[in-house]
Chain A
Amino acid sequence: MSTNLHKLLNRKSQAKALAVIAAFLLLSGCATTTNVQQIDKLESIGEDPRIVLMPPDIRYYLLTASGIPEANAEWTEAAKTNFSKALLDYADTIGADVRTISADNMSPDEIQYETLHSAVGLTLLTHHFGYTKLPSKAGRFDWSLGPGVSAIARNHAADYALFVYYRDYQASGGRIAFAVLAAAAGVGVSTGSEHGFASLVDLKTGDIVWFNVVTAGKGELRNADDAAKTVDALFKDIPTASGTPEAE
């Protein structure tokens, strides 16, 4: 409905938003699992395997009556804070050594890998979990960010990197009123969505060794309690040094 307007807006973030929504729509239509695990436990060349948490790429939007999303700074800020805290708490409970790096201190390479991760993640959602499977992959999960990521290992003395992507579109009152009106006319319009994914990347090879998706209804990061629930759901199967934590 608003495709033409997106063209007009010419904003990369919104094009990306459309891509991810499309990918998740594909996902929600099929019953396959969204968790992929390539390794049983973490390994390290040092004493204990260390994970570096890349600055989570989280953004909240208000879906306005027009259907055009409006970035919300307050929600995004709260979500980033809540998410990082919940993740570090969770890491403690499973005994994982997770270090965070600040978004202000990233090297040019690290910024590029964040962008690459989003691109690879969205691609594999479409082509691994979605309907448009790639015949040459034959169902294999061999997605990688490439061995260049070893630069991140050197910068942070880490064995693995955890990348997180999350987008949340909350409908405004006006949007909901419009949706009701549209429904009366038999037209369905979007009233928001929430979705995200996380990848654990082996910094020796760049391979994605663990991947999970959080879909609609499971994610809400604006308050601490819900953020903790989202984090639990997202990371419940992440491998640790002693193996995969028991599902609760």
Chain B
Amino acid sequence: MNNRFPTAFVLIAVLCGSSALASDEPLDHKIPPGYEPEEARDEQGLWMELEEMERTLNKSALLVRDPDINNYITEIVCRVAGDYCNDFRVYIIRNPGFNASMTATGMMQIWTGLIVRANSTDEIAAVVGHEIAHYTRLHSLQRLRDIKAKVAAGSIFDIALLLTTGYNTPLGQLTALMSVLSFNRQQETEADLLGTRMLAEASYNPHASYKVWQRIIAEEEAAAVKRRKPSLFAQTHPASEARASYLESLVISNYGDDDAEEVTDEKLLNILNTHYLFLMEDQLDTNRFGRTKELLERHRSIGVEPSLVYYFYGEMFRQRDEEGDKQLAMDAYLHSVEAGGAPGDAYKNLGYLHLKTGDTVAAQVQFRKYLEVDPAADDRAMIEFYLEE
């Protein structure tokens, strides 16, 4: 009984100690550009699985194949990656979530949700830099090896404890789990630090690295339904707040205050204006109205075409359909069509809302405009029926 717990503490110390950040090691890329997997069995296996996954991803219906968006993102990736540019294949995924990922093989995924959340190309570059740092630091492989070693050690400890004391507890495994989680967080911090450096070296604004997190915090605060406290398992990433604040002090101490004026660059604005309908349609479909509203307000302030932004305000209020939303939706559609260049659906949906309020004449005015803007509309026959009434 007396020696059970000291043994446990030794184990905890060993497992946690092995993952402590080796601070004397300079934070730099671990692999050269054009890296190929070594003869190691586990690395070969990892690459095989990832290559198979990439073959499937290549044919995925969720891939955004539009050359415009692909060129825009690939250009960012290559500029941040520098000599590593040819190591990466960029896949843009239709998903309204805020995410990007990188595999050990250089398969990089950027979700469209990242594009609609950035206030500048620099902010997208900041996320890209973070992902590239995971790659050049060989994080996936390390994580795999870390998990295997710690879980094996933890399991053997549990069995040894059971054999010697008859005490059956998953203490070793749980300790291993905690240690693995802490190792993951540490990798995230490493990727933040190295990513920020790459961002600055590529002449992007390093201040974007924490601003992108400040946007996420703002969106979180605007959410109608707050996310539950993250579970133990979700805590593999430093929380947005902690991340924004340590990155901010790091960047300010390395690169000075941010003296650049906050203006959204033309390249990002152009992408948003050209592809806004499908990008925001996916966001709208999440039914997270608080967040969608925050994004729309942001887009209005950074200079996205008002006709597009107001159209989605209209869509959002119409779909939410709470007390007073009908009127808000009609106002928004009206704003959209008055701004010029509104999508045809702005006229149509405004028309339908007029119909619902019993104003057939006003509805017909909008329906006629709808057919002018979109003469080949699928529902032309239906609309013409309303026009005859």
- When distances are taken between beta carbons in the complex, the residues of chain A under 8 Å from B42 are 70
A30 within 8 A of B: no
CB closest chain-B residue, reference A57? B52
A72 to B49, CA, bound (A): 9
A187 to B173, CA, bound (A): 15
CB closest chain-A residue, reference B147? A68
A66 within 8 A of B: yes
**What's the least CB distance linking A75 to chain B, in Å?**
9
How many residues in B have their beta carbons less than 8 Å from beta carbons of A? 32
**What's the least CB distance linking A186 to chain B, in Å?**
8
Residue in A8, A64, A73, A115 whose CB lies within 8 Å of B180: A8
Residue in B45, B59, B155 whose CB lies within 8 Å of A67: B155
- When distances are taken between beta carbons in the complex, the residues of chain B under 8 Å from A71 are 45-46, 48-49
Instruction: Give the contact-size bracket for chain A.
Output: 35 or more
CB closest chain-B residue, reference A65? B152
B233 to A187, Cβ gap below 8 A? no
A66 to B152, Cβ gap below 8 A? yes
B177 to A74, Cβ gap below 8 A? no
B147 to A9, Cβ gap below 8 A? yes
A246 within 8 A of B: no
- When distances are taken between beta carbons in the complex, the residues of chain B under 8 Å from A66 are 147-152, 155
B55 to A103, Cβ gap below 8 A? yes
**What's the least CB distance linking B286 to chain A, in Å?**
21
A178 to B155, Cβ gap below 8 A? yes
- When distances are taken between beta carbons in the complex, the residues of chain B under 8 Å from A107 are 59
CB closest chain-B residue, reference A74? B44
A174 to B163, Cβ gap below 8 A? no
CB closest chain-B residue, reference A10? B233
A167 to B93, CA, bound (A): 29
A182 within 8 A of B: yes
**What's the least CB distance linking A14 to chain B, in Å?**
10
**What's the least CB distance linking B245 to chain A, in Å?**
27
**What's the least CB distance linking A62 to chain B, in Å?**
7
A64 to B177, Cβ gap below 8 A? no
A114 to B123, CA, bound (A): 38
- When distances are taken between beta carbons in the complex, the residues of chain B under 8 Å from A70 are 41-42, 45, 144, 148
A221 to B155, CA, bound (A): 31
Q: Which of A46-81 contact B (CB under 8 A)?
A: 59, 61-62, 64-68, 70-74, 76-77
A181 to B177, CA, bound (A): 22
B387 within 8 A of A: no
Contact of A104 with B55 at beta-carbon distance under 8 Å, contacts A8-B181, A8-B233, A178-B152 already known:
yes
Q: Which of A10-31 contact B (CB under 8 A)?
A: 13
A9 to B49, CA, bound (A): 14
B61 within 8 A of A: yes
State the 3 A-B residue pairs at the shortest beta-carbon distance, nearest first: A71-B45, A66-B151, A73-B48
Q: Which residues of A contact B (CB under 8 A)?
A: 1-2, 4-5, 7-9, 13, 59, 61-62, 64-68, 70-74, 76-77, 103-104, 106-108, 111, 115, 174, 178, 181-182, 184-185, 187
7 A–B contacts, CB within 8 A, in A order: A4-B177, A5-B173, A7-B233, A8-B147, A62-B45, A66-B148, A74-B44
